[in-house]
Amino acid sequence: MKQKGQLAILTLIGISLATPGFAQQSGEATYKAKCAMCHGADGLGETPAGKAMKANSFKSDADVKASDADLIKVTKDGKGKMPAYTGKLTDAQIQEVVTYIRTLQK
């Protein structure tokens, strides 16, 4: 019985360690499909569409200091010329994109 409990714990640890990597990959794929055309692959907003729409850089002080909840809200509701993604992306996809954006800020 003790071995089954240990196996269950090891399985849960393995799943928890694998999940962030999966979320980052999924967030990266969604970012590339929905965000990169304006914000750029590097998140700087220096694409032709990004310049035309005045897309912000994710490395700006404001975005680096913004909470995940703030970034999620902007993604869901839109801001300026950025469209709202409520109904276009799931809450999980939006969270995964925000997690991926944090990797671009490093």
Query: Is 2 within a domain?
Result: no
What's the whole-model pTM score?
A: 0.76
Residue 86: give the domain boundaries: 21-104
Nearest Cα residue to 91 out of 37, 23, 45: 23
pLDDT digits (tens, 9 = 90+) for 29-49: 999 999 999 999 999 999 999
Query: Is 4 within a domain?
Result: no
Number of domains the chain contains: 1
Query: What CATH number is given to the structural domain containing 87?
Result: 1.10.760.10
Query: Is 14 within a domain?
Result: no
Mean pLDDT in each 10-residue stretch from start to end of the chain (106 residues)? 50 45 76 97 97 95 97 96 96 97 96
The Cα 36–Cα 38 span in angstroms is 5
Helix, strand or coil, per DSSP, at residue 56: coil
Rg (CA), the chain: 17
